[in-house]
Each structure stands twice: as C-alpha cells, then as structure tokens.
Structure 1
Amino acid sequence: MSRPKLEIADIFRKYGPAWRRANAGHISLSQLKVMSSIEACRTEALGGHVAACTKCDHQHIAYNSCKNRHCPKCQGPAARDWMAARAEDLLPIEYFHVVFTLPAEIARIALWNKRAVYGLLFRASAETVMTIAADPKRMGARVGMTSVLHTWGSTLTHHPHIHMIVPGGGLSRDGKKWVACKPGFFLHVRVLSRLFRRLFVEGQMALHRAGQLAFFSDLKELANADAFARYLAPLRKMEWVVYAKPPFGGPEDVLAYLSRYTHRVAISNQRLVSVDANIVAFRWKDYRIKSGNRQKVMRLTTDEFIRRFLMHVLPDRFHRIRHYGLLASAQRKANIAKVRDLIGASAPEQEPQPEDDPAPLTLREPCPCCGGTMLIIETFKRGQVPRSRAPPRKQAA
C-alpha cells in the first residue's frame, strides 16, 4: 500500500510545538506522550533495521513503529496479530453486531471522567445483554461477547459508543445444552435500551456518591448531589440509542469486520485532504443522508483539529477491547470447547509449530522490485547509524 501524501504525524511535527505552547497547562501527560509517539513513529528517532531481498540486490532501511494504540500507522499490524489470536475462538454460528451509544448529556460528563464513565459504559452494556439473554422469556441462555470502545464520530466529535459482537446463542442454565437464538434475530433492541438506560443512570449516581466524578466549567454545579439528580432526571425518560445490525454472513465476515473495528483510531491518514497552518481538511461520512453520496469534506482550524484528535486519547492502561460472559478470558477456551462439543463442530486446524532452529527474520511485505522475500540483515537502536548504509526506502507515490 502506498504511503498517504498527508499524515497526522506531519501535522503534529509542523504545528504541534506551537499548539503545545498555546495550550500549556491544559494538556494531559497522556496526550503529550501520544503526540510525541506519533511524531517519532517510523523515523530515525526510534531506530530500525536494514532489509535485503533474497532474490535481487535491493536493500532499504525501515524505521521502527511507535506501537502507540492511537497512532494511525501502527494499527494495521496490531489488528492482524490480534485477529490471528482470535481466529481459533470463532464458532460456526450466527454472530450479531449490537451498538450502545451514550446521550450527548452523558458524553459531556465522560469527557472529563473517561476512566470512570467509559468503564461504566462497558459494564452496563455487557450486563444488559447478559441479563436480557438469561431471561427465560427471551433466550434463557448464558451468552458471551466482545466489546470495543469507540469515542468519536465521523467529524472527530466526542461520541462514546460500544460496538459489541455477540454469538447468536448461549449455554443453558445447567450448561448441558446450546440454546440458539431465532435465525436472523438476537434480542429486542427496545428491551435492551430500557435496561441499559436504567443500569447506566444508576451507575452514574453510584459514581457520584463515591466521589469518582469531577465537574468543570458550566457543569461545576453538578458536583452537588441534588443538581446532579436533576440533570439526570430527563435522561430517565428519553430513548437511548441501542441498535442491532443484521447478522454476519459467517465467521469469516466476523473476522473481517473485527479487523476494521478493533484497532481503529479517531481518523486515518487516508481521510486527510489538505493541511496548512490555518486549516485541516478531511473526508467524513454524513450518516444522515439515507442514500447517494455520503462523503463530504470538513474543514477545521489546525488548532481545533489537533484538539479534537487528542480528545480521544484514552487513559493509560485502559483496555478498549473487553470480553464478557462465555468469552471472558479466564474461562473462554473451556467454554468454547464445550460449545463446539454441544453443536458438533470441530476445532479449527492448528498452525504448524515452528521448528526448533529459529528462522531468519523476514518482513511481511515483499521486495518492491521483484516480489522476493525481504530478509533483515541488521538492526540498529535509536541514535545509531546502520553499518550497511542502505539507501532510504523509497515510498510509493
């Protein structure tokens, strides 16, 4: 894949220093680390390796990635590795995609209380699905799910929501049967929405009583318990957005979908259109348009673009992919093996184990000249100069 003409890293390197000076005292350490990582990603600042083709005389230097989870350039390899680990967990059954979205009034609170509110969003949405699915009047089964947190809308606004991938069924209460949902239908979204609303509002009240919420600017008065209760009161009556998409075509479609969603960042480099000291233009999709061309171009001041991007930096060590119920990490393998036995499905074939002798390190990408295998012939640390003196790697136009 050719390198995008514009990158988030270019914006941070060129306009980031002035933005940091103008916003000194209002930037978190996590945000500063993200900016620094993206700026250094795949540059000599992080060291790298020299690769040589095994068929022709082509060599090039490739610099190391920052591996920061907010970096647009680092998520492709991370997603592939994660999906390879998850492939053996897939079952030959229907899978459903359910989305839980927070109202704008809650999103305002979440912006200053990310760890507490995002954590509650994970717990409330998972408990909602597991509770409704366990109801004998619904499915009467113990289900599992994989939840992925996204905090952005297409225009980089703050829009926290959970993408949940759920197998279409679960284990019976005694664990002796597989209970499948109705073909093409998982659970009533209206029922899910009502319970999610109640669990989340109750959870918000509990966080407030425990002193785990902070309020600033025009929300300062919500530090008072009565004012906070009044703020939440209208939310108890409004409809909260929960929707379920049609089931996937099969396990392969689930993998393809997850590879796009699990390691997505707020905006990819491919969406950037133009950048200068004043304006950043980028493509976005207008979901309000039901048909026709949804693609539009938005223009933000460069300062506002940087602010919006950094608004989606997650707290340190906060997990944005979580597993619940049957798919919870502690019992996942045992539960999946039991389900396979109950539905008569065989386990996926295991990849052959590597031989004892370690193979030479090779790159995933073939030689750009002849398509041959690229072999790593030297590695060097940050600040070092490679001995091989290979010419810099040419980027495709």
Structure 2
Amino acid sequence: MKEAAENDATVTAGGERLSLRRHSRRAFDALVVEGVLPTFLLWAVVVIVRSGPVDYRWFPALAGITAAYWALLVLPAFVIRLVTARRTSLTLSRDGIEGLSPSAALVRWQDVAGVRAVRRLTGRRVQVTKRGGASMLLHAPRSGWLPDPRFERDLAALREWAVRHGAPIDPGKPHPREPRRLWSPMTIAGLVLVALLVAAGLRTVDRGVVWPWTPIASGVTGACPALEAAGLGRHWPADTREHVLDETRDFGRLHLSECRWHSPFGTDPAPFDLLVVTVARHGPGPESSAVASAARSHDAERAAMSAPRPLTGVGDEAVVISDAGLVVVAARKANVTVVMWANLDSHDRAQNAATSALRVLTTAMMADVRLDSTERRGDG
C-alpha cells in the first residue's frame, strides 16, 4: 500500500490489482506544447513572410487569431484533460494489463517482452513490447515534455508489477529508454522550431520594428523647392537647365511631389540631360504603419533596379545604380522616400561625377526631412 501511494496508484484491499492514472501535470505540459509554441510559431512565420519591418499594426490581428485559437482549441482541451486526468486509468492485474480499450483483449504478462518510456511529439508515453516484436502505447501513465518524477515512479511500479507476475523482464536492469534516432520526429520538429525562431530574430534585426512611438514626418517640402535647397545650382547651373515639371498630388495615404529638369541646349556642356526627382510621404493604412508603407515602397524601387549597390549615410536606407548613361538613387527616411534619377546625354560622360552629385543632393534632402510626429499621432 505504501509503495502504491508513493506511485500515485490505487491497490485493492486484496493487493491484487494496481491502477495507474494520468496526472493533471500532463494538462499543464500540453498547455505549453499546444498553446505557447504554436503561438510563437505563428508570430515567427508572419515576421518571416511579411515584407518590410515588423509592424505594430500586425499585433491586433495576430492577437485576435491567438485569442481565438486559445478560446476554441487550447483552453477547452486543457479543461478536458484537467477534468478527466484522474478518471483515465490503466489496470494491472495478476494476469496482465487490462483496460487498454473497450475492445482490446487482456495483454498477459508472459507475452510482455519489454516496458519502456518513449518520446512522442505530445510528450512521453509508456510502450509495451510483446514477444514477436509487436508494440503498443499505453494511455496511462503519460507525461509532457518536462521532467515528471511521478511518471518515473509509475513507470517503475509498472515494471516491478510486471516482473513480479511473470513478465520475462530482467529486474536487475533499469528500464530501457527509447533508442536515440538522429532524425526522429522530435529532432526534426525541434530543428524546425529553432530555425524559424532564429530566422524571425534575424529578420527583425535586419528590418527593424515599427512601434506606435516611432518618429515620422507629418509633412515634407515639395520636390522642386527641396532640390533647390539641397544645392542643385552647385551641380547644375541654372543657365544650363530648363524646368519641365513641378507637380504635387495628394492621394490620401500618399502625398507625392515630382520635379523635372532637362537640358535644352543639345551639345552645350551640362552635367545631365534629364533629372527627375520624386518625393513621397507615406501615411498609415488599415494594416500598415506609415514607416512600413514607405519601406515597402523603397523595397519595390530597389527590386526594379538592376544590381543596386547600398549607400551608407543617406537616410535610413538607400541604394544606387550607375550604368551607361543612367544614374538612379533611391532613399528612405522614416515614412518619406526620395527617388532621383538622371539621364546623361552621352555614354561617355563622367558617371562617377553624376553619381556623386545625386548622392550629395539626396543626402541633403533626407537631412532636411523633419520627423515631427509619431506613428500613433499620425493616425489622426
């Protein structure tokens, strides 16, 4: 009776039957496995597959999905396990193992060749091997992935009972563990989990996080005035260029300003044949912050370029391409993007001088962008 009590088992008055029960501990272990880990995986996958920075505007949708998952699946399963834990048992008699299922026959001790703990995705279970190699998993006792002394005690009690009643198991040897397999389902699941979490972490470090208090610009200077203020005259004298376009458009969540200059003098010396500058201030959308919208726009510009090179020290991120007769610089600072491109009237012009000029102009325009609001205030 004392041994049975230590193993959380019940013995009849005659001492001829042993009842091994599930423990409520498994319900809490399953809560971690089925509730917490899938939640982390959901958030990690979203971080990996979504473009742009990690956006706080994703959080309400993810929180809603998580809450629904917990309310509809995780918590009901947890309550059921908690309520039925003590009601689910396995009976050991002098003859063998009973109560495997309503239709299962008695497994006699003489047919039992081994009893050991095995690990499955849902936790640890007891596997009984019969002569001939057939095996079965018992529905009690069971444990989660975390260390569980009661499971160990119940497993030891089961082995002792089996040996005492004639099972051909060597009582002098500790109960064997499941052989470790290099590519077991648990190993693969663990590697996938670690890989996803590491990838999500690296993605977050690389692209950053947008919070409600992230600074943004509530307004920007038009492209033509901003270009002149940046020092266009020092790179392209006013008497060698002609104004073609100065246009500003407001699309609600996108404020766009475009400026164009070209050289009307043909063979006269001019650093560019055509210079186009677009300044865009991005606003928040239903599922995207202003900074995230600008980052996606910048990513699209970069993807459209052929072999862009990164530019350091220009806004938050910038790239450049310089190829026979064409120079393009795309940059972003907070929720503002600037795209500047220039055509040279002949391929033998100094590409390096044109690239340097556009970089200087873009740097000055980015520095002039004033971050005077925040993401949350910008919603209004």
Q: Report the TM-score when normalising by structure 1.
A: 0.18
Higher-Rg structure is: 2
Q: Report the TM-score when normalising by structure 2.
A: 0.19
Work out which structure has the larger RCO, using CA pairs closer than 8 Å and 6 or more positions apart in sequence. Answer: 1
> Quick check: which one's strand share is greater?
2
